[in-house]
Structure 1
Amino acid sequence: MSTLSADRARLVDLEAQIVLLEHSPESRSQNQYSLSELHSQKHRVLERLDSYKYPVLTLPNEITIEIFMHFLPTYPLCPPLIGLLSPTFLTQICRRWREIALGTAALWRAISLNDHRIPFERQAHLCNLWLSRSRSFPLSVDYNNSLIEAQATEILSTLVPQRARWEHISLRFSISSLPIIEGPMPLLRSLNLYLVNFDLITAKVSSLDAPLLRTVVLNDNAAGHLTLPWAQLTALTLPGFFPRECVAILQHASNLVHCELKLFDDGVDVPDISLPSLQSLTVTGDAGPGFLETLIVPALRDLRVSESLLEPECIETLAAFISKSCCQLQKLCVEDVAIESRDSYRDAFPLITVSFDS
């Protein structure tokens, strides 16, 4: 290993030790170095890295920034807070790259707070740091890490003041904290919300002011305590719902283009529902027979469905569904089909691309 590579590897190791000692007192007695010694070693390694002459440093800043942007996962995907593929990694190469990275707000606009290796206090600190570095850029935030209400509340208290910058948000927190996020969200385009009833209280229903919102994923608690601008949504995922709950929502979301439902059977019959713009549909779970036929979807092109939702006469059920909607289905994926039954689907629908998933 070259001296340059060795110094980079040493820097990563030192930072990991520093994080561990700062947030794990019991580890201090097991480490041969004190915290101040580790910081001193890190400083010396950084000085050596800064002294290297890199040919890449002759590039204009604009090209370097473009390289940095391609180094990270494509926005709105979030890079890790530390380590490879993190913008933090770019700050550890040399002084000039550190200055460019810290001065490029777009590098810090996507924040994931789900790394179990990093103590919560450290993640909360990094969250504040990245929010500051991202300046006025729209934000993508993913926090689904903790079932500890106090931690979720602390993260919310950091994120909510930046609500006007939220663009892609995935959050998990208590129903009782829902009113905290109320207010204008002028940039919000996608929302993934999982609400937990930590304290078993009844919270009031909140409304979301998000004129650009198009894509939503909700658990049952979130759907029951949040009023959304359903008519403007184009993509909706509802995991773990009863059919009657889905229908109550879908009747207000008539402009959906993509929909994914995972259902549980409650034995309740539901009325027909028309989704005239729907192009792709996934229906899985155990909703009992008859649910699929209640959907009228003339624009449907792509269907994924569990075979259990088609029983007892699977081919006939599918044919009746397609006929009722008068749709020109192009792709069909049926889950959990026995190998010996697969040819019957292909024979019944020769003009449709049929696949199977176990």
Structure 2
Amino acid sequence: MSLSYHTFSESKIKAAHGRRELIRIPNIADHFHTNEPPDDPDAQLFAKTLSNAIDRESFLQEEIRYLETTLYQRIDELSRVQQIIREYKPVLSSVRRLPRELLMEIFFQVLGSVDPEDVLDFDRGLWPLTHVCRLWRTLILNHTSFWTTVSLPGRTHYPPYSIHILSLFLDRSGSQPIFVDFTCRDVAKLPETLFSVLFAQSYRWETCKLRIPVFLTDRLSPGAIERTQLLRHLDLNLDLAYSSPLVSSCKNLFAGAPALRSVKLTGVPLALDTLGLRWSYLTHYDVTQDFPDKHLAILRLATGLVECTIDCSQPWRQQLPGAAAIVTLRKLRILKLKGTASILLEYLVAPGLHSLSVLLPETGDSLKIFLNRSVSRLHELEIEATPMGNNILDALQYVSCLSKLALNVSISPGSRRKIVFKDFLVALRYVSSGNNTTSITGCKLPRLEELFLSVYTSSSEHLYANELADMVVSRWKLPGKIREQELTQLKRFTLETNRDWLPAFDTFKELMQEGLQAFINLH
């Protein structure tokens, strides 16, 4: 019978000689379907092919054993090479060549870029840095400034030897002034002892943040705290009740702190003799106090304030003072009045005020009275008014130099209330007077560069989206010839509202393409 052949090239793995062979295999498939013996020519060819395959099998098995041995050798060698890379590369790293001064600066930047780390946590902060290498350990241990931030946040569980760890940390700070941040949540002996260790170093306090429960306040006494000559910043949260018998023991607590300039008080009953503070020396006053009338007498003494934040939740409980109670704060630059503290505006004068943040009631002229009396060149104003009243619009006539305005308002559906916001938008719009000029007659806030509006409304029609878009367009495009000394172009606009996207908002997309920084946040 005639034979047909098919050939294929078998890629043989390169041996030492690196040769390739072409194996010719006769077609034997037809003989699988019959029991007849092959013809003599076929039988001879098949026998020769079988003999060659047996020889080839022996060769390939031997070569595979050789290649396996070579492969394992190469894997072992690769492992050794990688180990060399891991060992030698760090040794030759450029970090090892950094000057010590530069390393110190890096440490300061890293450690000062986040909130203070718990000194009792060995996995964070300074402790792991001291275990990197001998050089790092020497630099950190020999530089006392690294150990001057003593932070002890509230813990559920304290590690063993906590007192020893804290004492070691304080010892490494040498005689440097220290920053103390201590929080205690539970009534336990160990936190109380840690508190005592910190108080033993009170003569080195420069900044102090204490958040402690009532049971520790008996430690706060002039006898427990030594000289606080260096103390400049005090943040104290005692959460004391006004009728607590411990109040009297805190009266002269910081009387020996002549350098104290900044205080933040929470849960501390206020009086003129509170903590023995020297009010006339203060530049920063931040306090949470339920009754706003407590602050007027204090502000009368604290005439050197540069920044003041007052948060109250209760109404004025004493008889309202008359005009004779007006307090002048000539150095005040930043004023934040939260809750019912806005009533204090009626009794304050701040001619140098730069930034004001206030929560206004729906009615009342406290803001208008304050701005009219102060005659200040206010640049930043933040108002929260829920609901929005006419008093906001009335007050804007006294802030012609304002460059940044933030309003957080709600628009209620009352007959007059719902158009108050519309009146505000109309008042802020630049109006073209023809002849290619822009009129500023009656226009509010001609210097405004940034406007933030947070508006909550029960209906989209109360948002007056068209009027809102027209106002922003007028302040961005400034139709007509711009007289730079009178009109300023709006540069940044933000709107937060509880409404869905409205067709009028498409205008803001166009303005953004033209360069206006516009942000629309819908909830």
TM range (shorter): 0.7 to 0.9
> Aligned Cα RMSD in Å?
3.2
CA distance in 2: counterparts of 1:96 and 1:197, whole angstroms:
48
CA distance in 1: counterparts of 2:225 and 2:308, whole angstroms:
26
Q: 1:73 to 1:306 in 2, by over 3 A?
A: same
Name the structure 1 match of 2:432. Answer: none
Name the structure 2 match of 1:211. Answer: 258
Deviations 1:186-244 (CA, angstroms, capped at 9, x unpaired) = 22110011224499434332142122211111124264541111111100101133111
* 1:279 Cα deviation after fit: 0.7
Q: 1:123 to 1:259 in 2, by over 3 A?
A: farther
Name the structure 1 match of 2:82. Answer: none
Partner secondary structure for residue 220 of structure 2: helix
Matched, 1:326 2:380: no
Q: 1:201 to 1:229 in 2, by over 3 A?
A: same
Structure 1 runs not aligned, ≥5 long: 1-48
Alpha carbons 2:205, 2:228 under 8 Å: kept: yes
Write the letter of the residue equivalent to 1:78. P
Partner secondary structure for residue 338 of structure 1: strand
Q: 1:355 to 1:282 in 2, by over 3 A?
A: farther
Which of 286, 302, 308 is residue 340 of structure 2 equivalent to? 286
CA distance in 2: counterparts of 1:218 and 1:148, whole angstroms:
22
CA distance in 2: counterparts of 1:148 and 1:218, whole angstroms:
22
In terms of mean alpha carbon deviation, does 131-140 or 153-162 score higher?
A: 153-162
Which of 268, 278, 299 is residue 229 of structure 1 equivalent to? 278
Deviations 1:66-88 (CA, angstroms, capped at 9, x unpaired) = 2211111259x623433676111
Q: 1:175 to 1:252 in 2, by over 3 A?
A: farther
Q: 1:266 to 1:109 in 2, by over 3 A?
A: same
Q: 1:119 to 1:349 in 2, by over 3 A?
A: same
Matched, 1:92 2:131: yes
Counting only pairs closer than 5 Å after superposition, residues 184-333 of structure 1 correspond to structure 2 as 184-197=227-240, 200-202=244-246, 203-204=248-249, 205-206=251-252, 207-221=254-268, 223-224=270-271, 225-263=274-312, 264-268=314-318, 269-270=320-321, 271-287=325-341, 290-308=343-361, 311-313=362-364, 317-333=366-382
**Larger Rg over CA atoms:** 2
Name the structure 2 match of 1:79. Answer: 117
TM-score (ref. length: structure 1): 0.74
* 1:64 Cα deviation after fit: 1.9
Counting only pairs closer than 5 Å after superposition, residues 126-165 of structure 1 correspond to structure 2 as 126-148=165-187, 150-165=189-204
Q: Aligned residue pairs: how many?
A: 304
Name the structure 2 match of 1:53. Answer: 91
CA distance in 2: counterparts of 1:342 and 1:147, whole angstroms:
49
CA distance in 1: counterparts of 2:354 and 2:290, whole angstroms:
24
Alpha carbons 1:257, 1:279 under 8 Å: kept: yes
Name the structure 1 match of 2:84. Answer: none
Name the structure 1 match of 2:397. Answer: none
Alpha carbons 2:177, 2:206 under 8 Å: kept: yes
Structure 2 runs not aligned, ≥5 long: 1-86, 386-407, 412-419, 429-443, 456-523
In terms of mean alpha carbon deviation, does 218-227 or 270-279 score higher?
A: 218-227
Alpha carbons 1:208, 1:226 under 8 Å: kept: yes
Alpha carbons 1:193, 1:222 under 8 Å: kept: no
Name the structure 1 match of 2:415. Answer: none
* 1:338 Cα deviation after fit: 2.4
Identity of aligned residues (%): 27
Alpha carbons 1:91, 1:101 under 8 Å: kept: yes
Partner secondary structure for residue 298 of structure 1: coil
Q: 1:148 to 1:222 in 2, by over 3 A?
A: farther
Structure number with the bigger relative contact order (C-alpha 8 A, sep ≥ 6) is 1
Write the letter of the residue equivalent to 2:141. L
* 1:117 Cα deviation after fit: 6.6
TM-score (ref. length: structure 2): 0.52
